[in-house]
Amino acid sequence: MSNKIILYDTTLRDGTQGEQVNLSAEDKLRIARKLDGFGISYIEGGWPGSNPKDARFFEMAQEVDFKNSRFTAFGSTRRPGTTPEKDENIRALLKTETETLTIFGKSWDLHATEILKTSLEENLMMIEETVAYLKGKTREVIYDAEHFFDGYKANPSYAMKTIAAAEKGGADVIVLCDTNGGSMSREIEEIVGKVVAHMGILIGIHAHNDCGLALANSLIAVQAGARMVQGTINGYGERCGNVDLISVIGNLQLKMGYICIAEENLKQLTELSRYVSEVANVPPLNQRPFVGKSAFTHKGGVHVSAIQKNPAAYEHMKPQRVGNRRRVLVSDLSGKSNIDYKAREMEIKLGGNGYDSEKIVGEIKRLEDEGYEFDAAEGSLELLIKKVTGQFQEPFTLESFRVTTEKNGLDPSACQATIKISVGKEEEITAAEGDGPVNALDNALRKALTKFFPQIVEMGLVDFKVRVIDGGGGTASKVRVQIETRDSREIWSTIGVSENVIEASWQALVDSFQYKLSKELQNTTRS
């Protein structure tokens, strides 16, 4: 049996049924282009008969020349009591002019009799006639056997008749769907094995993750003989989601010896995952296998010491193979190995006797006991290492600041900040307004610094987070403020901790500016 696996992506249809996933027609086209460039065999664009957005998307897609992927439109078999040529949904499918059409039908007798309210015989006719009609229109037809595993467990004879009807109609591929996501892996293996042995047609698997088994079930289905895997990028989908094609590719190709995509495209796996996450406006999962930010991240000192000698000690593969990278974090769990690794990464020279590393570890542990978290604020960490080792030149000094908030009746509150800083022997006093006290302080600091450091104009805020460290003190509780800032070259995180949220915000703000200016000075010195 061939070790070639056909990947079928349904992010643009099944993935958008997931909570908080909403893609415009333009978003879907952007993702489709990315999937095509990556080398996915089939891209399911949506259900044109269900909504105007999908219909418009297919019109737009007709103008695009896809190089590697076949585009598919999705829909159901004809309705009971009519014919395929009279069914409006099937007409909408044909209107898309895609070479491939994917049709789903009922495999579970419960769905035929209780949901569709039709007879078991009529359901078989609906499947066969719809597939045959579309094949007569010279289309490739993929038949999705919805609820196949539940149907097989309830009535194996009838479930097999439904896919036999699809085969008789001329289907090119039959995909077995664990639509409710409730099947166990041993059941998937047994049933797929029986279907593959009985049918003379390509078999696929479509797994949902309601029991956390979508990946395991997809892999075991392939081992049992399935040669098409349907899924979504990042596992987006209804309820608990679909199988994540990112993990499918990683496991099948890197661990099990199957071929899913061109070997050179594996290096794009991390980029693909993050791109789809960005377009879908869903925060990326740091712990996502293979491609997550934390997938090859090390925090414990013992681990870091080991990977410096041999990365295989704590990594199951080289992160570069999937376009990811190794990261080492520094926290109160860190040892000297973590500090030495980070210093090299940041191009900071430490003393050769280990004394600097010990001092830095001690200071980090002291500050993290106060509520700091340096594994989430590497900008502040770099500044701390430079300060402890005497390699930091302070670009500016705060002399004083004042923030006022005024509230009149129902009008929004007005905030103003006044700040006095010194740069060398020069002083600058500036005032600015803002939508809140932190925004006003940020605006005032930028206004004051621009005179001396015009390059900060390119700095922009990416994220601003406030977290209560211990709520026992009520509104007087200590808080942690984390800021993400970016310029044209990078994104960095900084942190501040205080019982006063404005003071904590100020600490994080100052670190963000000092990190930028420190980098500028470091690059200038190096050149």
pLDDT band, very low/low/confident/very high, at 120 (cuts 50, 70, 90): very high
Which range, of 343-357, 484-498, 504-518, averages the lowest pLDDT?
343-357
pLDDT band, very low/low/confident/very high, at 332 (cuts 50, 70, 90): low
The dihedrals phi and psi of 233, each to the nearest 5 degrees, come to -70, 130
How many other CB atoms are there within 10 angstroms of residue 359's CB atom? 16
State the DSSP string of 28-50.
HHHHHHHHHHHT-SEEE---TTT
Measured in whole angstroms, the distance separating CA 319 from the mean position of its chain's CA atoms is 17
State the DSSP string of 342-408.
HHHHHT----TTSHHHHHHHHHHHHHHHHT--GGG-HHHHHHHHHHHTT----S-EEEEEEEEEE--
Specify which residues 143 forms β-bridges with: 103, 174
Question: How many residues belong to the chain?
Answer: 527
**What spatial distance separates the first Cα and last Cα of the chain, rounded to whole Å?**
58
pLDDT of 417 higher than 80: yes
- Identify the pLDDT of residue 361: 80
> In whole angstroms, how far apart are CA 236 and each of 115, 144, 259, 280?
26, 19, 23, 10
Please tell me whether residue 514 adopts helix, strand or coil conformation: helix
What angle, rounded to 10 degrees, do the helices at 269-280 and 245-254 form? 170
pLDDT digits (tens, 9 = 90+) for 449-468: 998 999 988 888 888 888 88
Dist. CA 489–CA 284, nearest whole Å: 21
Nearest to 186 by CA among 155, 216, 230: 216
Residue extents of the structural domains in the chain: 6-261, 297-387, 397-526
- Identify the pLDDT of residue 471: 67
Q: Dihedral, CA atoms, 225, 231, 235, 236, nearest 10 degrees?
A: -150
- Identify the pLDDT of residue 321: 95
The dihedrals phi and psi of 45, each to the nearest 5 degrees, come to -85, -20
How many other CB atoms are there within 10 angstroms of residue 12's CB atom? 27
pLDDT of 347 higher than 80: no
Dist. CA 378–CA 482, nearest whole Å: 11
- Identify the pLDDT of residue 326: 87
CATH of domain 6-261: 3.20.20.70
Residues 6 or more apart in contact with residue 501 via CB below 8 angstroms: 438, 466, 479, 481
- Identify the pLDDT of residue 102: 97
pLDDT band, very low/low/confident/very high, at 406 (cuts 50, 70, 90): confident
Dist. CA 36–CA 64, nearest whole Å: 11
Residues 6 or more apart in contact with residue 277 via CB below 8 angstroms: 234, 283, 284
Which range, of 185-189, 314-318, 391-395, 507-511, averages the lowest pLDDT?
391-395
How many other CB atoms are there within 10 angstroms of residue 121's CB atom? 10
Which DSSP helix (H) or strand (E) runs through 274?
helix 269-280
Domain 397-526 -> CATH class: alpha beta
- The percent helix, strand, coil of the chain (3-state, each to 5) is 45, 20, 35
pLDDT digits (tens, 9 = 90+) for 175-195: 999 999 999 999 999 999 999
Position 274, amino acid:
R
pLDDT of 497 higher than 60: yes
Structure tokens at 149: 């595993």
Residue 338 vs residue 494, higher pLDDT: 494
pLDDT of 334 higher than 70: no
Residue 391 vs residue 238, higher pLDDT: 238
Average pLDDT, the chain: 90
pLDDT band, very low/low/confident/very high, at 335 (cuts 50, 70, 90): low
- Identify the pLDDT of residue 522: 65
pLDDT above 70 as % of the chain: 96
pLDDT digits (tens, 9 = 90+) for 148-181: 999 999 999 999 999 999 999 999 999 999 999 9
pLDDT above 90 as % of the chain: 63
Dist. CA 185–CA 467, nearest whole Å: 41
Please tell me whether residue 421 adopts helix, strand or coil conformation: strand
- Identify the pLDDT of residue 174: 98
Structure tokens at 79: 């309705």
pLDDT digits (tens, 9 = 90+) for 474-488: 777 889 999 988 887
Dist. CA 385–CA 368, nearest whole Å: 14
pLDDT of 525 higher than 60: no
pLDDT digits (tens, 9 = 90+) for 86-95: 999 999 999 9
Q: Bin 348: left if φ > 0, else alpha if -120 < ψ < 50, else beta.
A: beta
Measured in whole angstroms, the distance separating CA 211 from the mean position of its chain's CA atoms is 20
- Identify the pLDDT of residue 407: 82
What average pLDDT score do residues 26-38 get?
94
- Identify the pLDDT of residue 364: 82
pLDDT of 62 higher than 80: yes
pLDDT of 409 higher than 90: no
Dist. CA 47–CA 102, nearest whole Å: 10
Domains 6-261 and 397-526 agree in fold:
no
Angle of CA points 204, 206, 212, to nearest 5° = 135
**Contact, 415 vs 404, CB < 8 A?**
yes
**Contact, 176 vs 205, CB < 8 A?**
yes
pLDDT of 80 higher than 90: yes
pLDDT digits (tens, 9 = 90+) for 230-277: 999 999 999 999 999 999 999 999 999 999 999 999 999 999 999 998
- Identify the pLDDT of residue 526: 53
Residue 437 vs residue 365, higher pLDDT: 437
- Identify the pLDDT of residue 353: 61
- Identify the pLDDT of residue 211: 98
- Identify the pLDDT of residue 284: 85
